[in-house]
Structure 1
Amino acid sequence: MVSRASVVRRFAAFALVPIALAASVLVTAPAAAAPPADPVPFPTDPGPSTEATIVDMLYTSALFGGEVPSATATTPYPSSGLQNQRDVTTAQIVLDAPELGPGEQMVTYCIDLETDTTIGVHYELGEWSEANVPNLPYVQWILDNYYPDNPAQPSTGSTAEKVRAVQGAIWYFTDQFVVSRFYPAERTAVRTIVEAAQAAVQNPTPTPPPLPTLTVELDADVPLVPGELYGAYAVGGSVTSSTIALNPGTEAYADEAGTLPVADGDAVPNGARLYLRYDPGVADQGFTLTAFGTVPAGNVFLYDGGNPPLQTAQKLILASDAPVPVRASAAIVPPESGTLRVNAVLAGDAAGDQSRIDLDVTCVDGTWELQRTFSIPARTPAGEFVLAELPNLVVGAECTIEQTDDGANAYATLTSSTIEPASVVIASDEVAEMTLTNVYAIPTPPTGSLAVDVTIAGDAAGAQSALDLTASCTIEGETIARDIPVAAGLTGTTTVATVTDLPVGAECDVVQTNDGRNADALITGTTILPASVSIVDAETSTITVTNTYAAPVPVVGTLQVDVTIAGTRAGAQSALALTATCVVGEAVVTRDITVPAAVTGTSTVATIPDLVPGTECSVTQSENGANATTVVTSTSIEPPVATIAAGQTSTIVVTNTYAAPAPRPTPPPSPTPAPTPGGLAGTGPEVAGAWVLALGLLALGGAAVLLEVRRRRSVTTRR
């Protein structure tokens, strides 16, 4: 039940402090050492102790010289004894931090000539001591009196030349570096600053520059109970206020009763007392306080180890006062505890197609209980992996896992699922493991069937020819088609096909490409109901095609017989007798036609319907209507033969022309017979003969009246 609390005099995490470095940033080789132009080859995010990071290198220049091991802070600037002579590069190194505003970057000089550094390297504020900065009083005096703190000194040269001279002087006191006599201008500039520092520093005892402070201290070692508040953490230091950043999952309060919650980003005054609610299931419970203060020139920045595998980096000394963030942090150190590791194994040919998997993890020890829910995202591929780790669990707690959603779906069927072991008991400083194993298989897709029925109706049902149908089912842009032949002669309703193993949801329809009509069966109507069906799991959906047929009505023609009566005695004629004869193949149709006497003009005397196309018809006249008062002068029958056409009427016209008979010649007068006695005797025989003639004519007329006019019709089939 221990809490880590620290007194921190450093920059906030991610602090990138621009440090104008008027010193050789790196001297890697005995010849031509220079600061790297490229960023660190292993860039990393700032770590917990990072207070500044190099972001730039400015005003680069160079010096040529070497070390004089016998030189001391009070030794006159040497002119001989230089060892390991080479070029070294000077530059102003820039550090920066997110908390700093524009123009608040920090610049530094180098104090460790033989060690490299570069852009991206992380630093923290080091202790101000001779161990970190040799001859500190002299270096401090140079920083206080020369560029950049005093931009006017040195009094001549460009900024790069000023940086070069100041850096060379600092290296004399920190690294015994002396500029060669072969570069008199650079040597004179450096020597002038060295001699000024030696003359000015009378008391070589270093005085540490003051630093802003921020502290967090745990008041007492109080019991650490799950679910209870732990503290208090006392906030102190030289700053008046700071801002709190809570670690993930941490609950903080400003009072012991837990009624005044402290939120992430809240201001915390100096003297505040903070409490944290202990949750064994949350790792790294704690907080960090950040405040701002001014760090004087002369403070040292050391490599914080945050760029592995880089082992060391050049020391940097702050060239002028700079505002920097300072931090203090605290964290709960759980009591004796163990860890639960939850593993997951996804296997099977459908692993990777499953939906999200949800697990509830429960750890119980008496009255203490921890519950956590973890999820494996949908479509996580097959494999074995660590799903979660729960640290700081109470020793003796028993943990179990329940799978609340196994991820099975239409594309992945769960064939087996195990959690092994079924439970674990947490042991001190040990990791207990539980493994969920789910095996998934590609599911057999649900299917249904389509039945196609055909209903044949109508008075010509059964006379139709074969039908042709096509059933089509479409799902997700893919179509399954099946041709269905239907035999001729069916009647009633018949299931002509059943299409099985169709995917559920497929939309199916049926089209008829041949309806079976022929000369004996005309199609009068077709219905396909329903127009489409959607396939349902384990069910048969039916589409019925209904065709209605009718016997064909024959296409025939008609013969019309007309009679035209002409001439001066038209209307005086007697009845006519005609016979119409129609022949097709071996079939013969005859019709006797009687035309009444006394008709005139043209009249239709007969119509013979329902004659097969191609039938040849003719008309003969057996009685022409001539009589004692009327004679036929001419007869025509046109056309002699009429050929019957479908849906048309063919006409044959019989034309009779009548005239009065020619008059008889007048007989010569008979001699006058001699008178008979009595005056009558001579006429008796003549009178008697006349009456006989009259009676004979009368008899003839009666016979004509008694003639039977008949109309006959007969059909004769020639064999």
Structure 2
Amino acid sequence: MRSERTVWRRCRQGLATIVVAAAALGWSDPAAAEPIPGGGLSDPAGIFTELTVTDLGDGGAVSAFDGPASLDPLAGYPATLPPGSTAHDVAFAGTIEVEDPLSGQTALTYCIDLFTDTETGVHYQVGDWTEANVPHMGYVGYILHNYFPIVSAPAGTDDFKASAVQTAIWFFTDRIVLDPSSPFYTAVSAIVTDALANGPSPEPPAPELEVTPNTMRAPSTGDIVGPFEVSGDGPGTLRSVGVEVFDNPDGGTPLPDGTSVAPGTRLWVRSVSDTTPQGFVLERSVTVVESTVYLYDGSNPGRDTAQKLVLAQQTELTKRAGALITPYPAGHLEVTKTIAGSGAGFQGEVVIDVSCVDPADETHEYSVTIDAGASPGDHVREIRNIEAGSACVITESADGDNDFVNVTSVTIDPETVTIVEDQTVTSTVTDTYERGVGGLAVTKTITGDGAGHQGEILLRVTCVDPSSKETRELTIPAGVSAGTHALPVIDDLPAGMRCTVTEPVTGTRDRVVNASVTIEPTTVTIVDGETLTVDVSDKYRRILPVTGSYAAGLAATGAGLVTAGLGLAGVGRLLRRAD
């Protein structure tokens, strides 16, 4: 580490001179004639911060140029200064020292984002190459694997090596070039040529530890929120900040800090303080490989962006993941659904919608559902943890009207409510249902050679619902001719009843037998305003009289059958089949 800290404010280094200061380092605004004296931040680390910039490492000033937009780093290092290049005297090119503010672990990084500033005290978290969105990272990775500080190359002092490596990295990431007269030219062009010939390197595996989602709002009512899914390639150690953490949605005993949390665990959280920020963190010591990128974690007040860094050598560091909790004042809405009327209990599904506009003018949608067939009376549903001050409008998008009932009235009282912190406001939605009425038509089809000779027929219609039963009977006189006959329609059956048709008296009599009865369908459900049909089909067969020589022959046959062991039952079967 340098004995003195240099004031720097931009890794961009379009600066003039670097001022030596005793306590901090920062980058100077490139538009200023002089760098900003002092510098450095003392902001506390964010709850997910993994590294913080602490100092400059090895390196020094380099007189360089911004290459033109047409410069293609993959075409090779230019033998002469490209036309259109602009002078860019870099006040410091080299390694940047970083430290884990909690564990004290240290590491070295290089800059991969020359035109964005950083300074001491800026906080970082591990990222990936896609998030970094820096060009040609594979070639940067190759340089890091094969040059200082991992390998003692190129030749020279540590300051010279760090400056040469940093300048070669900037060639790929920011099109920084050197004039051939620069003392670094030979080393930098050789590093770039080697990387182009033998790179790129693949992205290193990232340490795996993740919590999903990583942000969530939590109500002031103390209700538990979650779940949060933990994933990774090993357990993390729990640290909570202003919250209680649970391993089940019902709460119970909070998990103490220091608990080992395995991948696949689901966590829930309750806000218990006014701490800002608040949430929970899982921490795990991991080996982080060189060329892993570190990105600004957003925890420095007033700073939106910061320079992107890349790890210069493999290091043991702490990986952190967790969830940030945002508390908000909240109250509840209790909706009472009242089901009334003669059709109550036969209605379909009811959906009550609640649209709330919060104090920030953002709209939040909620809904509650009352299952189809819910019993008469009151059904209470609660929507919890709506932001206090929200104006909520209650509507009914599905009122339960169906094939069995008609909705005769809907009232919502009140239709609009304002949510109050730590209180429950109420609204009642009342629906009155009238039972629908439908009909049942029964047709009687008579067939067979005995049709027209059958006796009286009785059909029974039995209809039931959970609270009542009705029975109707239809009579067809004896001797009705073959064909299909429409019977009087039963037109006053309550909708929703399930009706079954049976035939207790089938029309069988002397010398005419009902050979088969078919009822289709066997059961129907009455529908409001419709007439359903059931067909009852009977097939009748005649039995011829037994007389004269035919009778004598049958008697003889019967005697023979008895002798043969068939007995009188066999004779009876033959007689019944006679036609």
User: TM-score if structure 1 supplies the norm length?
Assistant: 0.39
TM-score by length of 2: 0.47
Looking at CA atoms only, which structure, 1 or 2, has the larger radius of gyration? 1
